[in-house]
Structure formats: C-alpha cells, structure tokens
C-alpha cells in the first residue's frame, strides 16, 4: 500500500507495576492501520486489548504505574515521546474515542445538544450559533429524527442505543484521523447493536476516519473490519485480512474463537475453551 499509515505500532510492550510486582500486559505488539481502513482487535476478557489501546494513546489507568516501550506513530505523532500539552493536543485532534458505556464520556447534568457544541467549542474555530447548527446536524446524521427537541434531553432521558449514537457523533465531531470503539455495543441488546454499528460505519464513511474496533466478539469484527488482530495473554497471536483470518485461521486460539460464534446454520454454540481448561496449549 502506498499511502502513509494512520497508525503504526511496532514492538509495543507494556508492563504494570503493582504492589512491587512487575507484570507484562502487552508484549511485542506490532500492526499497521492505513487511512480509511478498519482493524478489529479481538480477544477474550483479560487478553490485553484495553491495555494495548491505553499504551498506544499514552492514557494510563489512574494510580497505575505503567512502562511502555516500542514505537507508536499516530497521524504523524510520535506518541510515546509526547508529553503534557502536546500529548493532549494530539489526542484531541487525531483520536475520537467511543466507550462501551457512553455515560462515561457524557456529563449527566448537561443536555446532550450542549455537550456536542462543547466538543466543537473545545476544538475551536466556530461561533456559538454555528456550533448549535452543527450539533443539530450531527444528531440528524447519527439517526435522530427530531434533533431540535432531542438535543434538549439529558443523557439519562435517552435509551442506551441513543446514548451510544450520541457517543459516536461526539467522537467523530472533529473528524479525527482515528476512531477507536472500545466494545461500543457490548452493553446493548442485539437488535440495537446492529443499528449502532451501522451508524458507526456510516459516520466513518462520512468523516473518512480509520477505525480500531476493540471487541471480544470475533463475529462483530469479522462483519465490520477489513483486518483482524487476535490477542491472547498480552500477545498478538494472529493478524491479517479478515477473510483470511476467518477462512484459514492459523492459530488454535483463533479457531476456538471462531467455533464459539453462534451460527445461523446449526447449533454450534460452544463455550470457548481457555488454557485454564487445558484444551489450548
Ligand atoms: N488498572 C489495572 N491495574 C493493573 N493491572 C491491570 C489493570 N487493568 C487491567 N490490568 C491487567 O492487564 C491485563 C490485560 O487486561 P485488559 O483490561 O487490557 O484486558 P482486555 O482484553 O481489555 O479485557 P476486557 O475485555 O475484560 O476489558 C490483565 O491481566 C489485567 O489484570
């Protein structure tokens, strides 16, 4: 591919120091994401997906001593070298974060429309009425039919799916180079999940953002992502174009994940065997 990557991660290792004990939570991770593409990061709980994202962004869990080594180039920024204001600026301009629970990123005491215009104010450059207009337009673009009145609601007055659509809109508002969805639909009903993922895809197509989609659900990644990275116990055990990973998985762990996806063509719902069961070695 000839274009410059949006995100290049090389040999990323993260260790956490806890009660005097050092633990490696991400080990030697490398992958590349090109403009406009989507990459799914898949693995079961505790695989290190969140720690990988945190290491890339340089956003460590509060109160946790973490050491990150390797190389991360994100939208032209050398992320591991950035500190303070320059680091915050890079995050604000290049990355849009969609959390599992949008209540985490929405302020419960502020009407949703005002929160969107606040994001625009933070990004700078537009007047108050222009921001209000763009907020309404944005709500329409993420599927709100009466955004003028819906923008006056507080987060708790919206459904989980509606809140997540606001979360997607807010993350994409500044048209960041990279959108990161951290289990964006895990907390939602299956029927709502599809709509939210569709809105995420449409939003991405509109803004031209690349996507990192973190999910424990290989089925979701297979449906929505161009490429897949499979993580297990802090390491990337397999990566490649989605079609290749799905049709010819090279690692037994990927095959186990595949087997655990519910199929429409048969009763193949199986519990995922873990190393603790002694099935995978
Ligand atoms: N705040 C923390 N302090 C210390 N260790 C942590 C912390 N958060 C996670 N870890 C450890 O890092 C490892 C990777 O966890 P991580 O949260 O990245 O997994 P994950 O794949 O994102 O799982 P999940 O889907 O459950 O969020 C685990 O061993 C976990 O115990």
Token digits of residue 188: 């939602």
Cα distance between the two ends of the chain: 35
For residue 279, pLDDT beyond 80: no
For residue 274, pLDDT beyond 80: no
ipTM of the predicted structure? 0.95
Choose the CATH number for 7-109+154-277 among 3.40.50.300, 3.40.50.10860, 3.30.110.40, 3.30.70.3040: 3.40.50.300
Residue 231, pLDDT score: 97
Mean residue pLDDT of the chain comes to 88
Strand order in the sheet with 7-18: 21-33, 7-18, 65-74, 77-78
Residue 33, pLDDT score: 97
Q: What is the pTM of this model?
A: 0.88
**What is the 110 CA–ligand 1 centroid distance (Å)?**
31
Token digits of residue 161: 């799916």
**What is the 152 CA–ligand 1 centroid distance (Å)?**
37
Alpha carbons within 13 angstroms on the beta-carbon side of residue 60 total 14
Mutate which of 12, 14, 15, 16 for ligand 1 pocket (most atoms within 8 A of beta carbon): 16
Report d(CA 281, CA 277) in Å as an integer. 10
Q: Are strands 65-74 and 235-241 parallel, antiparallel or unpaired?
A: unpaired
Alpha carbons within 13 angstroms on the beta-carbon side of residue 10 total 7
User: How buried is 250 (Cβ within 10 angstroms: 0-12 exposed, 13-18 middle, 19+ buried)?
Assistant: middle
Residue 269, pLDDT score: 42
Instruction: Give the ligand 1 atom nearest the CA of 216.
Output: 25
Cα distances from 272 to residues 48, 252, 277, in angstroms, run: 17, 11, 10
**What is the 45 CA–ligand 1 centroid distance (Å)?**
8
For residue 237, pLDDT beyond 50: yes
Ligand 1 atom 9, closest CA: 51
Residue 277: pLDDT band by 50, 70, 90 thresholds? very low
Report d(CA 279, CA 73) in Å as an integer. 37
Token digits of residue 28: 């030697």
Render the burial of 2-26: b for 16+ CB within 10 Å, e for the rest: eeebbbebeebbbbbeeeeeeebbb
Residue 122, pLDDT score: 73
User: Is the Cβ–Cβ distance between 270 and 279 less than 8 Å?
Assistant: no
* 158-159-163 Cα angle (round to 5): 70
For residue range 174-218, what is the model confidence (pLDDT) as tens digits? Answer: 889 999 999 998 888 888 889 899 999 999 999 999 999 999 999
Report d(CA 71, CA 50) in Å as an integer. 18
For residue range 97-141, what is the model confidence (pLDDT) as tens digits? Answer: 999 887 777 888 999 998 888 877 776 667 888 888 888 988 998
User: Is the Cβ–Cβ distance between 185 and 164 less than 8 Å?
Assistant: yes
For residue range 10-68, what is the model confidence (pLDDT) as tens digits? Answer: 999 999 988 888 999 999 999 999 999 999 999 999 999 999 999 999 999 888 889 99
For residue 74, pLDDT beyond 80: yes
The pocket around ligand 1, CB under 6 angstroms, is made up of: 16, 18, 25, 43, 45-51, 61, 64, 216
Each domain of the chain, given as residue ranges in start order, spans: 7-109+154-277
Report d(CA 231, CA 162) in Å as an integer. 30
Mean pLDDT confidence for 228-246: 96
């Amino acid at each position: 591919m000839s274009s410059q990557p949006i995100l290049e991660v090389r040999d990323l290792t993260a260790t956490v120091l806890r009660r005097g004990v050092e633990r490696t939570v991400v080990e030697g991770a490398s992958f590349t994401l090109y403009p406009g593409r989507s990459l799914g990061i898949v693995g079961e709980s505790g695989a290190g997906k969140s720690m990988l994202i945190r290491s890339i962004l340089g956003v460590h869990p509060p109160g946790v001593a973490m050491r990150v080594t390797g190389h991360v180039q994100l939208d032209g920024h050398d992320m591991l070298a950035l500190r303070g204001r320059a680091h915050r600026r890079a995050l604000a301009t290049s990355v849009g974060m969609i959390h599992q629970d949008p209540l985490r990123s929405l302020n419960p005491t502020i009407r949703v429309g005002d929160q969107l215009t606040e994001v625009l104010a933070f990004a700078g450059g537009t007047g108050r009425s222009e921001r209000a207009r763009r907020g309404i337009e944005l709500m329409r673009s993420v599927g709100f039919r009466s955004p003028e009145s819906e923008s006056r609601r507080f987060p708790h007055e919206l459904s989980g799916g509606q809140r997540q659509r606001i979360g997607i809109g807010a993350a994409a508002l500044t048209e960041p180079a990279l959108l990161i969805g951290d289990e964006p639909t895990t907390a939602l009903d299956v029927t709502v999940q599809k709509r939210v993922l569709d809105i995420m895809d449409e939003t991405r197509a509109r803004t031209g953002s690349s996507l990192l989609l973190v999910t424990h659900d290989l089925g979701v990644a297979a449906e929505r992502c161009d490429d897949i990275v499979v993580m297990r116990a802090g390491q990337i055990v397999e990566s490649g174009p989605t079609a290749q990973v799905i049709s010819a998985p090279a690692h037994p762990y990927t095959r186990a994940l595949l087997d655990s996806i519910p199929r429409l063509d048969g009763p193949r719902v199986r519990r995922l065997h873990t190393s603790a069961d002694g099935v995978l070695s």
